[in-house]
Structure formats: C-alpha cells, structure tokens
Structure 1
Amino acid sequence: MSLRGMRAYQVAAVAALAATVGTPAGAQAPSDALSDETQQCVACHEQYTPGIVADWRASRHARVTPAVALEKPPLERRVSATQIPEDLREVVVGCYECHGRNLSAHKDAFDHMGTRISVVVSPNDCKTCHPTEVEQYSGSKKAHAVHNLDRNPVYTMLVETLLGARTVKGDRLAAHKASAHTRGASCYACHGTMVTVRGLKKVQSALGEVEVPDLANWPNQGVGRVNPDGTLGSCSACHARHAFSLEVARKPFTCAQCHLEPDVPAFDVYRESKHGNLFLSSQGDANWDAVPWSPGKDFRAPTCATCHNSLLAGPDGTPIAQRTHDFGARMWVRLFGLPYSHPQPKDGRTYRIKNKDGQPLPTTFTGVPASGFLIGKAEQAKRRGEMVGVCRSCHSTAWAEGHFRRLDGAIAETDRMTLAATQLQLKAWGRGLANRKNPFDEGIEQHWVRQWLFYGNSVRYAAAMGGPDYASFKNGWWALNTNLQEMHEALRPAK
C-alpha cells in the first residue's frame, strides 16, 4: 500500500473510530480525548497489532487525562508532576504521547506513515508525568545494572566465563567470547542491553515495505537498559506495556522474571513462605489498584512491592511508608550477588567502588568492607526501622525484631561459610592447583562461586523471607556444608 493509500485508510478508520468509541466510564476513551496523532495510530494498529491496542485500551492511560489525574488528593495521585505540558493535559496518554516525546534526543526517531515517532520509550519520556519516580530510579542499582556488569572487570570476567561457549582443543577446553545473542538472552535480559541505532532498514509488513530503525541489542526490557536517547532503564520491566498495570507491578510474578533460584531465589522463597501461602490463597480478594495501599484493608498478604517500594497507609490514611522507585531505599544490608553481605552502597553505580585490595567490589575476597562507599550505621538503622515499621502493620514489634535478629545470625554465619571456602581457594592458588588470574573458571573456583552465589544467598533469603526448606536442603545449609567438604577433599594430596 502506498503512503497516500495508507493516509486515506487512516482517515476512514479514524472516522469509524470516532463513531464507535464509548464513554469515559466504558472500555474506551471518547474520541475527543485522543490526540489526532494517537487516533491515527490506533486506527491502523487496531487492524495490524490488535493485541497492543487492546492492552492499551484496558489501561488507565487510555481512560484518564493528566488534567483529571492531577485533581486527585496528593496522596492518591499516580502522577508526581505538578504541571503537565499543555499539549498533554486534556488528552489521554496514547501512542503518540509516549512515542512522540523528546524526539530530538532520540536517535531511534523516524518518520512513520507521515508522523515522526521513536521506537524505544525511555524513562525520560515517562518523566513528563512521573518525574519523582524517574529521579528515584535513576540513582538506583537497577538503573545502572548494565554498567555495573560491563564497567566492573571482575563481573565482566564472571559473565564471560559463565556465558562463553567452549570447545575441545586437544587436551584442553578453549573458552570463547560470549555472543551478543547469548548475552541478550541471559544475564543482560534482566540487567538490560545497550540499544544502539545502526541506521534504517526496510522490512516487509502487512502494509507492504516500510522503513524502520535498525536497532542493535533489541528487543530488551532489562532494568538497566541503555536507551537510544542515552537514558538508563526500562519502566516496562515492571509496568509491562501497554497496559502499564499497577496490579501487574505489585504482584510477585513480575519480580520473578529475574529473581529466581539458584542465584536470586526471592520468588522461590516467597512462594514457600507464609506470606506466599496467603498471597496464593487470597490474591483474588485483594484490591491491587488502590493508592495508597492499606494493609488489612486492600490486601491480606504482603508482596515484594509492599515491603520494598509501595506507598502504604494505615486505616486513617496516615502514611506507613512512602512510595519509592529506588528498590534499595528500604534496605540496610545487601544480601546477594557478592561473596559477602555488606551495608548497601551509597551510590547505585557500584562499579565505582574500590576496596582495600583495589578491586571494584564492596568487600575484599576475605570480607573486609569498602566502608567509604557503603552507608553508615545511622542510615542502616534508619532503613531497618522503616522496614520494621512496614512489618508492624501486621506483626507485633517483638515478632518483627525477633525476625530480623534471626536474619542477622544467618548473615553472619553464611559470611563465615564463604570465608571458609575462600580460605580453601587461597590454598588452591598457593599450591598451584588453580590459576588466580581468572577466579571463576576452574573446578575448585566454581565450588567457591556456588558457596556464595547460590548457597549463601539461599540461606539469607530464606531467613529474610521465611522459607525454611531453602535454608536447609534446597540450596541451603546442606549444600553449604557438602560444597565446603568437596573443596576440602579436593585439596588433599593423592595417596
């Protein structure tokens, strides 16, 4: 179909759309609440990508204008902007309102059926209505998740060792650099990829040949994705497009996209826990859309969002915890991803950390913290108090404090088990049984990695969230001890 024919089709389809749309209370917004550009997008894409349009039609974006959103009392608002650009105030948030923002910054901008748009909607585009959320997120570890891997040589080595294919070369295994495909389908699917524009390309569509941006490392919706406009992150990692549902973001299945065993067993432990039991048994009774969110009134069982980032309020509307999109803001200790637990970093750009051994890690291999880069005791106490305050919505102070004392014990004991494994690894290096140049690629070194990345993490998560099997036999204490025994026996001289 020619561009002229396409435009004629759009005009006819828009007219049909205007004649059939419903009222604000219905499933569709009135036609005069859609911008002209969005009407054209919807008219065409409803025919060719109906799933996208149906998803958007079910969203709050499709039914509420920013002007109406600002009429809510401050505590009930879902937008943090106090002023909205005039061209957006009185129209619903449709295709063009997101894909047509800040085009001068978008290297992926292109002319599509007579309208200039971008492919990748970035946090900077969402910032138009949600500036506080974007500001909070931009300083988080999640926003820097790509660079925290690829700008940290220790983690780059771990990723390459993990993902690089190997071939047999005589009597040895030859390691090869991980391909972009493998990286994008594994670690970087969660951490994010660096999406770049190689130029334009022609593709065949239902409308014939069209020209679109040729994007490298796309598709991706990782939390630290580097976007073509230079920004970091992907809001759709949690708020799945195109409904951008609060319910989806609040349910633990969203976090389970990445936080799964063996290395980050958060969802697995949660599912086993009493909280998970109650959630799975009663999730249909919860009010997933309420703002603020009230324990006991809107939900019976907490989810990841309850404890880590949702705006919570008591029965009288008094805030219990403020909303945050820095998912480490209520955390005082960092439990996973590193050999030893440690206070949370001050800065989400953890690749900037240097410990006393010169490594870009928050502790040395023997557990000495890089304290200058980590939050101090006062901030740790403040954050712990905030988390205990969330727990007290349903539990007594004695219960909450007792729970976290048990977590303290699990953290200390698993750190000692990692240190024991490290001491054995140091012996292996000292005896020439392994090469310390790459601490991840030989048998005894991989036992060391399992000790903290899988087994120590499992015990800590189990203690933090109440999953007893993950603290014992499922990658827990049984694995910690048998793994350590195997390392010890590997160092015994052959008889």
Structure 2
Amino acid sequence: MRNLLIAGLLAGGIAGMVPLLNAGATQSAAVPVSKDTQDCLFCHEDLHPGIVSAWRESRHARITPGEAIQVKGLGLKVSSTEIPEQFLNVAVGCAECHTQRSEAHSGTFDHGGYDVHTAVSPKDCATCHAQEADQFSRNLMAHARGNLVNNPLYMDLARTIEGRVARAEQKLEFTPADPLTQAESCLHCHGTELEVVGSEERDTFHGGMEFPVVTGWPNQGVGRVNTDGSLGTCGACHNRHQFSIEMARQPYTCKKCHVGPDVPAYKVYSASRHGNMFSTHGKEWDFKKVPWTVGEDFTAPTCASCHVSLLADASGNEIAPRTHQMTDRLPWRIFGLIYAHPHPISPDTSIIRNADGLPLPTNLDGTFAGDFLINASTMAERAENMQKVCRSCHGSAWVNNFWERFENTIMTTNAATLEASRIMLDIWDKGYAVNHLAGGSPFDEAMERRWSDVWLFYANNIRFASSMAGGGDYGVFADGRYHIAQAIMELNDWFARQKAMDALGNTGQPASKPSLQKAK
C-alpha cells in the first residue's frame, strides 16, 4: 500500500514544497515537505480538503523548525532546546504530528504502511513546544476532566443537570447521563477519555481498511485524556490543523467554554469597555505578532492578553511572559465552589478536602481549606503579575482602586453566599430537604437548586462583572445582586413557611437529618 501511495504521488506530480506566504521568514520561498507527509497529502488533499487547506495556511507549513529555532529574543516561538534531526529541515506536516511517538499511543494503527494515531496530544507537541506543554500540564485546564469526574459532589450536581429525570409517586428521580449526553454537555469542555475499544473496517479510496474504534472521540476538551495517557489538547485553543496564534488570542475562542451563566466571562467581556473597544477596533489589530506589543499591535485586552500572551512595550521590553499555566496571573478563583477562594496549589483539585472531609476548597461556613490553597505571598505575586498587564494601559491609582473594588466584591459575594448556606443548613437540619449525608443529594430538590443558583450563577456573575467590566448592569440586574438577594429571600421565606406549617401540625414530625457537615 505504501509503495502504491508513493507511485501515485510521483505520477500525480505533486511537489514536495509548500509555498511560504506571510510566514515571517526569509530563508526560502518554499518549505520542503517530508516524503511521509507527501504520502498523507496525496490522499487527504482530496478526501479532507478543509483539513489540508487549514494546514497549508498554518505556520507549521510555512517555516521549518530548524529555521524557527534560530529566531532570537522575544520573538522565539519554539521553546524546545533540542529538536529531532528528522524534523529540523521540513515543514511540520501530517506525518510529523500523527506518526511520531506512535508506540506511546494505544490508538496507533497501520494506515497505508504508517503507524498513525488520530488524536495528537500535548506530549506530541512538546517535541517543539516543551515549555508550553509542561506549563499546560500544571494547569487547572489540563485536569478539568479529572477535577470533575473524580469529585463525587460535582458529579452529583452533574447528574441532576444532564441526567435523565423521571417522576415516580410525586418524587423526581435522576439517573446519570449516558456517555453520549455527557460527551456533548459537561465533558464537551472538561474533556472525554479517549479509549480504544476495538476496530472496524471501512471502505476507502484504496479499498477496505481497518480503523480503531475510540470512545470519547471526537473531543477538544481542555482536560481530555489522550491515548498516550497525557491530559488536554492544544487544539482546544489553537484549533487544528492551522494552530493559529491569532485564533487563540481572539475572545471568541474562550467563549466556547466561558460564555456563562456559570462562568460568564465572555458575556461580561463583550459588554465591558474592553470588549467594546475590541468590537470597534479589533479588525485593525495585529493578532499574529510575537511578542504582542501593547499600544501597537492592539489597544485593549482580550482574554489572552490578560491570562496567556507574551506582552512587550514599544521599546521591546517584556511586560508579561507567555504562560500556558493560566493561574500565573490569578490569585483568586472567583467562580464559587461554593465560595470564591485562593487558587489551589495543585491543579488536581480532586485531592482537596475541607475541614468536614468534603472534596471542596472551602467549608460550608466560607472558611478556606488552607492546606490545599496558595498562601498570601503567592497571591500577592500573582496579583502583581496581573496588575503589570493592567498598568501597561492604566495608571497605578486606577489599577489599585479597581483591584480594591474587586476584592471587596469577593468578600461581599462570599458573605451573601454564607447567608444562603446558613438557611440551607437549617433546612437540612430540620429535615425539609435531604442531603447526601442523609442518603439523598444536596442538589435534587427545589430549594437546594435555589441555593445552588446563589453561588453557581449569581455570585459568579457579580464577581466576573467586577473583575472584567468594573461593575454595572451585569453585576446588578443581569443575574447579579438583584437575583442573589431574591434567591436568599425565597430560601428564607420557604423555610419560614415550613416551620409555620410544623407549628400547626400540618407536616407531622420532621425527621432528624444530619446537615451537609462532617457526620458526628
């Protein structure tokens, strides 16, 4: 089969060179393509023209690693100090990504005489981008799947959201979602596990061929478990097969998973002054330059400029280094689980246990699980990293006062969540709802879900509005302070009515149930 492909390639007269257009390199007008990648292109140019076209537009197709590694200073994009010799002087093509490290992938299969794996992993990308792969492996995003599926409380919440609901004798029963539903709901962003479960024969241009059957595929979730055991996918932000820096810097890319209402980053950004400037002037910005020069290449931040990108001033001085460990500029974890809290020390949050033995970074009274969270010194260092980015456009007084309001918002939203949690604890203690320590779930009854609204939606929305937009309507009436106050009122009124009914003898004796605290 391999000889057939090569013969067809030569007969077809396909050149082993890729035109070098706008690549930022001047060494040659075209980039050589390896013989192995030429074999891939011979078939896939016709079978998958969209994929091949995206690759031809990529930097991978337009400059060799050997040329890229010669770049000096902040413009260097290749972080590996040693690159295998066979990759140095050819474009990074199909074979360079899909056939290397084939022995490490359980999904490797014979394809036209080549050992191919479908899902390229961060460890494959580490051949040229070692630093980025290492940083990403220490990132919460890389562990997003495990942090969800290995936490029984989070999975219980997921069961009541995406699972199948049925009514029996006036009681609702939730069963866990099937794998296909999970793959297109929570695990769409958190990541599936790619597992080879067999093989199948398909008709192809060259007749019947065997392909692996991989469950969990397709998926571009940030915490995907790959067939080589690695976590995550670079394609979550740098969409395959173009792997564009420009795309990763656009807020639309982050919008895929951060649109809300639980993590309302994009909708808040789009309504902010920064988002307004992007909408108006973004078409004039240069999203490809490395380093990214503030005031020249762009004039207002996107998600990437605050959290990831290598930023420089007009004199070429570094403002913030490139990082793929997203917490490097984040002291606070602001989406409430159940309260905002300092970021975890380990990206594997499933190991966290609060004082009550629950897999939560805080206790139900709002105090932190301190042994598992970063200390004040690390928080201050990360806050300074972020504020350096802010000060590239704003004066110190502006930044300091903005940050003071933001941290005040963390305190006030945590305080509101505490009041809601105290009411919920009273509801559980009186037996009006049944939590998981009493054989039920803390999420499958109406008032429990109303309590969840407080911290899962409303407190989050207020904090994101404070951190990104500086406040305004998204922090008040658009699932903000108005709604958090209303939810607390409803919880309190419902509890008061239940107690009044008890006093009148309308409900009988409430059962004694343990609260969502450590069982005595």
Q: Work out whether the TM-score is over 0.5.
A: yes
Which residue identity lines up with residue 464 of structure 2 in the other structure?
A: Y
Quote the Cα distance in structure 2 between the aligned partners of 1:229 and 1:176: 31
Quote the Cα distance in structure 2 between the aligned partners of 1:196 and 1:30: 42
* Unaligned residue ranges in structure 2 (runs of 5+): 502-520
* Unaligned residue ranges in structure 1 (runs of 5+): none
Q: How do 1:405-416 and structure 2 match up within 5 A?
A: 405-416=404-415
Asked if the contact 1:17/1:43 (under 8 Å) is kept, the reply is: no
Quote the Cα distance in structure 2 between the aligned partners of 1:206 and 1:460: 55
Deviation of the 1:171 alpha carbon:
2.5
Q: How do 1:317-328 and structure 2 match up within 5 A?
A: 317-328=316-327
Quote the Cα distance in structure 1 between the aligned partners of 2:34 and 2:252: 34
* Aligned position for 2:229: 230
Which residue identity lines up with residue 97 of structure 2 in the other structure?
A: C
Percent identity reads 43
Moved more, 111-120 or 188-197: 111-120
Quote the Cα distance in structure 1 between the aligned partners of 2:362 and 2:72: 45
Moved more, 104-113 or 266-275: 104-113
| CA pair 32-387 structure 1, distance change in 2 beyond 3 A | closer
Deviation of the 1:178 alpha carbon:
1.0
| CA pair 30-300 structure 1, distance change in 2 beyond 3 A | closer
2:476 corresponds to 1:478: no
Q: How do 1:126-165 and structure 2 match up within 5 A?
A: 126-165=125-164
Of 448, 453, 474, the residue aligned with 1:450 is: 453
Which residue identity lines up with residue 451 of structure 1 in the other structure?
A: V
| CA pair 17-211 structure 1, distance change in 2 beyond 3 A | same
Deviation of the 1:140 alpha carbon:
1.0
Which residue identity lines up with residue 16 of structure 1 in the other structure?
A: I
Asked if the contact 1:263/1:337 (under 8 Å) is kept, the reply is: no
Deviation of the 1:352 alpha carbon:
0.8
| CA pair 26-300 structure 1, distance change in 2 beyond 3 A | closer
Of 462, 466, 488, the residue aligned with 1:459 is: 462
Deviation of the 1:30 alpha carbon:
7.3
Of 457, 468, 481, the residue aligned with 2:472 is: 468
Secondary structure in 2 matching 1:213: strand
Corresponding pairs, count: 491
Quote the Cα distance in structure 2 between the aligned partners of 1:58 and 1:419: 52
Deviation of the 1:26 alpha carbon:
7.2
Residues 85-134 of structure 1: per-residue CA shift (max 9 Å, x gap): 00000001000000011111111111111211111100000000000001
Quote the Cα distance in structure 2 between the aligned partners of 1:244 and 1:25: 16
Which residue identity lines up with residue 398 of structure 1 in the other structure?
A: A
Asked if the contact 2:345/2:374 (under 8 Å) is kept, the reply is: yes
* Aligned position for 2:81: 82
Secondary structure in 2 matching 1:298: coil
Quote the Cα distance in structure 2 between the aligned partners of 1:43 and 1:102: 23
* Aligned position for 2:210: 211
Asked if the contact 2:31/2:61 (under 8 Å) is kept, the reply is: no
Secondary structure in 2 matching 1:60: coil
Quote the Cα distance in structure 2 between the aligned partners of 1:208 and 1:5: 12
Quote the Cα distance in structure 2 between the aligned partners of 1:31 and 1:187: 43
Deviation of the 1:284 alpha carbon:
1.0
Secondary structure in 2 matching 1:144: helix
Asked if the contact 1:197/1:214 (under 8 Å) is kept, the reply is: yes
Deviation of the 1:22 alpha carbon:
5.7
Asked if the contact 2:309/2:322 (under 8 Å) is kept, the reply is: yes
Quote the Cα distance in structure 2 between the aligned partners of 1:100 and 1:6: 16
Asked if the contact 1:11/1:40 (under 8 Å) is kept, the reply is: no
* Aligned position for 1:342: 341
Of 16, 20, 36, the residue aligned with 2:14 is: 16
Moved more, 51-60 or 461-470: 461-470
Quote the Cα distance in structure 2 between the aligned partners of 1:247 and 1:253: 11
Residues 255-302 of structure 1: per-residue CA shift (max 9 Å, x gap): 000001210000000000000000010111111011111110110110
Deviation of the 1:332 alpha carbon:
0.4
Quote the Cα distance in structure 2 between the aligned partners of 1:290 and 1:414: 39
Secondary structure in 2 matching 1:463: helix
Secondary structure in 2 matching 1:132: helix
Q: How do 1:166-181 and structure 2 match up within 5 A?
A: 166-181=165-180
Which residue identity lines up with residue 211 of structure 1 in the other structure?
A: E
Secondary structure in 1 matching 2:193: coil
Deviation of the 1:387 alpha carbon:
1.0
The TM-score with structure 2 as length reference comes to 0.91
2:193 corresponds to 1:194: yes
Quote the Cα distance in structure 1 between the aligned partners of 2:355 and 2:197: 41
Residues 50-109 of structure 1: per-residue CA shift (max 9 Å, x gap): 000000000000010001001111311111011110000000100000001111111111
* Aligned position for 2:355: 356
Which residue identity lines up with residue 45 of structure 1 in the other structure?
A: H
* Aligned position for 1:252: 251
* Aligned position for 1:293: 292
Secondary structure in 1 matching 2:15: helix
Q: How do 1:15-34 and structure 2 match up within 5 A?
A: 15-18=13-16, 23-25=19-21, 33-34=32-33
Asked if the contact 1:33/1:90 (under 8 Å) is kept, the reply is: yes
| CA pair 174-206 structure 1, distance change in 2 beyond 3 A | farther
2:65 corresponds to 1:69: no
Quote the Cα distance in structure 1 between the aligned partners of 2:3 and 2:103: 26
Deviation of the 1:11 alpha carbon:
3.8
| CA pair 412-92 structure 1, distance change in 2 beyond 3 A | same
Deviation of the 1:169 alpha carbon:
2.1
Which residue identity lines up with residue 484 of structure 2 in the other structure?
A: L
Quote the Cα distance in structure 2 between the aligned partners of 1:16 and 1:76: 33
Deviation of the 1:362 alpha carbon:
0.8
Asked if the contact 2:20/2:31 (under 8 Å) is kept, the reply is: no
| CA pair 206-490 structure 1, distance change in 2 beyond 3 A | farther
Residues 133-182 of structure 1: per-residue CA shift (max 9 Å, x gap): 01111011111111101111111211122211111223222221210011
Asked if the contact 2:202/2:210 (under 8 Å) is kept, the reply is: yes
* Aligned position for 2:399: 400
Quote the Cα distance in structure 2 between the aligned partners of 1:468 and 1:67: 50
2:491 corresponds to 1:487: yes
Quote the Cα distance in structure 2 between the aligned partners of 1:198 and 1:487: 48
Residues 293-320 of structure 1: per-residue CA shift (max 9 Å, x gap): 1110110110011111111111111111
| CA pair 37-365 structure 1, distance change in 2 beyond 3 A | same
Deviation of the 1:32 alpha carbon:
6.6
| CA pair 281-291 structure 1, distance change in 2 beyond 3 A | same
Deviation of the 1:210 alpha carbon:
2.1
* Aligned position for 1:240: 239
Moved more, 159-168 or 374-383: 159-168
Secondary structure in 2 matching 1:168: strand
Secondary structure in 2 matching 1:17: coil
Asked if the contact 2:30/2:62 (under 8 Å) is kept, the reply is: no
Which residue identity lines up with residue 272 of structure 2 in the other structure?
A: S
